[in-house]
Amino acid sequence: MMESEVHFCNSCGEQVGVDANGEVFVACHVCYYPICKACVDYEISEDRKFCLRCCTPYEDNRAKDNGDTKVSENRSTMAAQISNSQEVGSLHARHALNVSEASRELNDESGNPIWKNRVENWKEKDKKNKKEEGAKIEVPTIPPAQKMEEIQPSEADAAEPLSVIVPIAKTKLSQYRFVIITRLIILSLFFHYRITHPVDNAFGMWLTSIICEIWFACSWVLDQFPKWYPINRETFIDKLSARFEREGEPSQLAAVDFFVSTVDPMKEPPLITANTVLSILAVDYPVDQVSCYVSDDGAAMLTFESLVETADFARKWIPFCRKFSIEPRAPEFYFSQKIDYLKDKVQPSFVKERRAMKREYEEFKVRINALVAKAQKTPDEGWTMQDGSPWPGNNPRDHPGMIQVFLGHSGAHDMEGNELPRLVYVSREKRPGYQHHKKAGAENALVRVSAVLTNAPYILNLDCDHYVNNSKAVREAMCFLMDPQVGRDVCYVQFPQRFDGIDRSDRYANRNTVFFDVNMKGLDGIQGPVYVGTGCVFNRQALYGYSPPSMPNLPRSSSCCCCPSKKPSKDVSELYKDAKREELDAAIFNLREIDNYDEYERSMLISQMSFEKTFGLSTVFIESTLMENGGVPESANPSMLIKEAIHVISCAYEEKTEWGKEIGWIYGSVTEDILTGFKMQCRGWRSIYCMPLRPAFKGSAPINLSDRLHQVLRWALGSVEIFLSRHCPLWYGFAGGRLKWLQRLAYINTIVYPFTSLPLVAYCSLPAICLLTGKFIIPTLSNLASALFLGLFISIIVTSVLEMRWSGVTIEELWRNEQFWVIGGVSAHLFAVFQGFLKMLAGVDTNFTVTAKASDDAEFGELYIIKWTTLLIPPTTLIIVNMVGVVAGFSDALNGGYESWGPLIGKVFFAFWVVIHLYPFLKGLMGRQNRTPTIVVVWSVLLASVFSLVWVKINPFVTRVDSATIAQTCISIDC
């Protein structure tokens, strides 16, 4: 257990306290396992003579403490609740009646469950370890931090780190922080001036502008302060190989299960999915440690048949990639590279084999395209397979679960006779009346299937359009996850998203460079980056809802809210969930660490029913959760495992379990990625941001205006759903204190940013109103006010410049991000806020279509496609209104004389700020650059001219003066 300022007892959850000498109470001087003195006395009274952590006799512990300190073992909460063997027997009897038929087959020849045999193997292994470590018990006390990992002293490089933090230069970072503090001070003075100098003749507009500016300032704080500790990281792949891949020995690298999810093959073309799968199967990693699971949530026969063709082509493609170290290993993107492919290639046969492989790939594409063409029209009787039987997924909303293993250790080999990674097709069962939870539900089904079939300790999930661009990406992640000094508390390693096929100027900020290169680096210095949905390597144990190994369980009385209710009736359910979580953690801890108990004592520590209520009715899956290092039982029958895998993807499997609540991908939002990462970090896990020089993964992005806005709408709606749920970072996860405050600010920013659309729309409308009414939101400026405004603008510019210095982003990328912040804010974010509240108040759900991944034949042809949608209305309205306001303002100035031009400058600059930010949107409406519709230009000029003439003649916003007032004025003048 890592040392901390406050130690909690692992039996009762209270603080350990101090001994008679005023020092932290230590129960066992060999393993330093934290347990309080009250629990020690209770354990000794129960006549328990051994420490469960290190199996050292209590008498030895007391002797080391000269009889002054009593020590005890860690007795789990579950063991405390099971008091006699009769109760245990009844629990296991009930379990035997509740398991599924497939689970009943998990017995060996003697009739014992496989998981019990596994426990016996652990017991024998533990006895051997105890004999070897018998001499080490007499060694002087070892600090607890060094007991986290067993390091073999014979390995010279065992303690060397596999990665290092590369800090940003102190000069850059200190300047950056100084400017942030300075900008805060200037903002305070600015708001003091604005609030104390109201504009009486335009009080409504002034008050609106003040509210908007205060909101913008708070948003800036939420966005800026999580960047307080930005860092870079560097990995050492060569050290990883030296430690875990020794010549002449089997590779010790951890296994990885890849997840690829797809829904609609018409919008997510099978050729794109096939390239993603091929890049995974050809990754630079031991073949026996790689498994690829493809989730077909649309149960399309087209996806299944395309995977059949992909598996066949992989037998030729994989040896070619490994022989010549091809990068990238997605054939479509490798053959389309406009580079010298002969560079660094010295094999004489390379050119010949490359040409042959390119011909093979072209034939593969023809076969895939033929399948797509065939699937354009569904037969009336439905699809049939090659053997004549109907396709089980003809009704995508009502079909059984389907699993097909294409490649693997016992399957086909490549053209050179070598083994291939496992490739598995999965389509979970769907029935009417069940909630399937879209992508999050599909990912959870893959978690269970992979646990039954391969059970790799790490999971890497990719979208179907994100291929592996760097074949060593998995090794990059393992430099963190397999490092004993770093990876113990890491729940996932997140890679940045990079994209192909985006226009050179990145008109709609599709690359999201500012987020991935600035914000995520800042989060990596706190508690880690947020999970962004793809390109992420997970620790499977973290997905199962466990706390980090270095942290004690939260006390049973803890709550997830900052202000827990005092009414017992509202706390019962939360206490029950916490108690069950403690039981599960305690049982798993004992299975991992306590291996000297006999079978009877072990049965007292495990309640199988507790596991079933958490993970579901599958003994195979439950057994897999107990294997921290992964793997499946050697005695398991493959056919039985397939049957059990079908069972765990049934549509009713998750009912009355913790799936989607505390385990796996979390339900409740269309952006399940943010919610899933947030729950993990609330438990105390941290994440890592890995940015290799060669991008690890690349994908495609919707580059036309309409699809881009729909994508942003989906993200924003997910954030609004989280804001309106119980998982809102404003109040969730305070009890344990495991989420750092700057990290909480970052999560708050991810769920409140859509609400910025309301003040943004108001603020973008103010320039036009000012120009039309002749009023302004700012009074006549004094010297002090001018200095404040100037200081504010300079601080904004300097902050951006310093961000560019330490992050490496360009000024164009920063500007594109700023522009699309306004475009998305006044369109997609605005709709997301209203749709989110409609869903909460009226139950009106919004169904989103999958964004098409195919592109036009011409380069960037999709960029100019305009699909009219209601999302285009608000930005178009703001552009027209501000342009009309500018025309009206100039008309008034021409009509009002010389003195009217001074006030006009500020108003026009304000309107120009809005128009220049919305310019990419306006350009998108115009279509192709060299094909701007003439009718648009003609009507724009005509409308502007007519409106300006009418404005000069009517001018309804100017106060009317009657003739009597004019006559009275003339009398008073001495002509």
pLDDT at 702: 80
960, 965, 969, 975 alpha-carbon torsion, rounded to 10°: 100
Q: What is the rounded average pLDDT of the residues 336-355?
A: 80
Residues 403, 425: Cα–Cα separation, whole Å: 5
The model carries a pTM of 0.75
Rounded-to-5 percentages of helix, strand, coil across the chain: 50, 10, 40
Catalytic-role residue among 465, 483, 578, 673: 673
The pLDDT of residue 98 is above 80? no
268 is in an annotated binding site: yes
> Which residues on neighbouring strands pair with residue 538, listed in sequence order?
459, 492
pLDDT at 362: 94
β-pairing, 458-463 vs 256-262, is: parallel
Greater confidence (756 vs 775) lies with 756
Greater confidence (239 vs 65) lies with 239
Residue with tokens 């309409």: 706
Instruction: Give the tokens for residue 794.
Output: 């300079």
Q: What is the rounded average pLDDT of the residues 805-821?
A: 89
The pLDDT of residue 128 is above 70? no
The pLDDT of residue 237 is above 50? yes
Residue with tokens 């608000």: 874
Kindly report the backbone phi and psi dihedral angles of residue 406, in degrees, each rounded to the nearest multiple of 5, phi listed first: -90, -50
The pLDDT of residue 306 is above 60? yes
Burial class (CB in 10 A: 0-12, 13-18, 19+), 281: buried
The pLDDT of residue 656 is above 50? yes
200 is in an annotated binding site: no
Q: What is the rounded average pLDDT of the residues 672-689?
A: 92
pLDDT, one tens digit per residue, over 845-866 is 655 545 555 444 445 556 666 6
Q: Is the distance from CB of 758 to CB of 837 less than 8 angstroms?
A: no
The pLDDT of residue 74 is above 90? no
CA 40 to chain centre: 42
11 — pLDDT class (breaks 50, 70, 90): low
CB atoms within 10 A of CB 283: 25
Residues 617, 347: Cα–Cα separation, whole Å: 55
The pLDDT of residue 733 is above 90? no
The pLDDT of residue 566 is above 60? no
438 is in an annotated binding site: yes
Peptide bond connecting 328 to the previous residue in cis, omega within 30 degrees of 0? yes
Q: Could you give the percent of the chain with pLDDT greater than 70?
A: 71
877 — pLDDT class (breaks 50, 70, 90): confident
Residues 336, 500: Cα–Cα separation, whole Å: 11
329 — pLDDT class (breaks 50, 70, 90): very high
Residues 776, 774: Cα–Cα separation, whole Å: 7
pLDDT at 744: 92
Residues 736, 560: Cα–Cα separation, whole Å: 8
pLDDT at 758: 93
899 — pLDDT class (breaks 50, 70, 90): low
748 — pLDDT class (breaks 50, 70, 90): very high
439 is in an annotated binding site: yes
> Is residue 503 flagged as an active site residue?
no
Amino acid at 31: C
| Range in 641-645, 682-686, 869-873 the model is least confident about | 869-873
Q: Is 656 strand, coil or helix?
A: coil
Contacts of 621 (CB under 8 A, 6+ apart): 448, 451, 452, 615, 644, 648
953 is in an annotated binding site: no
Please list the alpha-helical segments (H only) found in 562-671: 568-593, 599-605, 608-615, 619-625, 638-648
pLDDT at 784: 81
> Which residues on neighbouring strands pair with residue 697, listed in sequence order?
468
Greater confidence (376 vs 155) lies with 376
Per-residue buried b or exposed e for 462-485, using 16+ beta carbons within 10 Å of the residue's own CB: bbbbbbbbbbbbbbbbbbbbbbee
Please list the alpha-helical segments (H only) found in 77-143: 77-81, 85-98, 101-104, 114-132
| Range in 261-275, 431-445, 853-867, 957-971 the model is least confident about | 957-971
pLDDT at 357: 92
pLDDT, one tens digit per residue, over 46-59 is 666 556 555 565 55
Residues 310, 401: Cα–Cα separation, whole Å: 22
pLDDT, one tens digit per residue, over 21-42 is 667 777 777 666 677 777 777 7
| Range in 19-33, 255-269, 438-452, 719-733 the model is least confident about | 19-33
| Range in 355-369, 471-485, 581-595, 677-691 the model is least confident about | 581-595
635 — pLDDT class (breaks 50, 70, 90): low
pLDDT at 140: 40
Instruction: Give the tokens for residue 855.
Output: 């592109």
pLDDT at 214: 93
Q: Is the distance from CB of 149 to CB of 488 less than 8 angstroms?
A: yes
800-805, long-range: CB < 8 A, 24+ apart = 802/172, 802/175, 802/176, 802/179, 803/176, 803/227, 803/518, 805/172, 805/176
378 — pLDDT class (breaks 50, 70, 90): confident
The pLDDT of residue 294 is above 50? yes
884 — pLDDT class (breaks 50, 70, 90): confident
The pLDDT of residue 409 is above 60? yes
The pLDDT of residue 324 is above 80? yes
Residues 396, 382: Cα–Cα separation, whole Å: 11
pLDDT at 349: 82
The pLDDT of residue 937 is above 80? no
Q: Is the distance from CB of 221 to CB of 425 less than 8 angstroms?
A: no
> Is residue 296 flagged as an active site residue?
no
94 — pLDDT class (breaks 50, 70, 90): very low
Instruction: Give the tokens for residue 642.
Output: 């397939």
pLDDT at 630: 80
The pLDDT of residue 360 is above 90? yes
- What mean pLDDT is reported for the chain? 76
pLDDT at 909: 85
CB atoms within 10 A of CB 554: 22
pLDDT at 359: 93
Q: Is the distance from CB of 69 to CB of 62 less than 8 angstroms?
A: yes
463 is in an annotated binding site: yes
Please list the alpha-helical segments (H only) found in 258-389: 270-281, 301-324, 331-335, 350-374
Residues 373, 396: Cα–Cα separation, whole Å: 20
Q: Is the distance from CB of 497 to CB of 469 less than 8 angstroms?
A: no
Residue 837 to residues 711, 722, 834, 844, Cα–Cα distance (Å): 19, 12, 5, 9
Catalytic-role residue among 257, 296, 297, 892: 297
Angle between helices 811-825 and 919-926 (to 10 degrees): 80
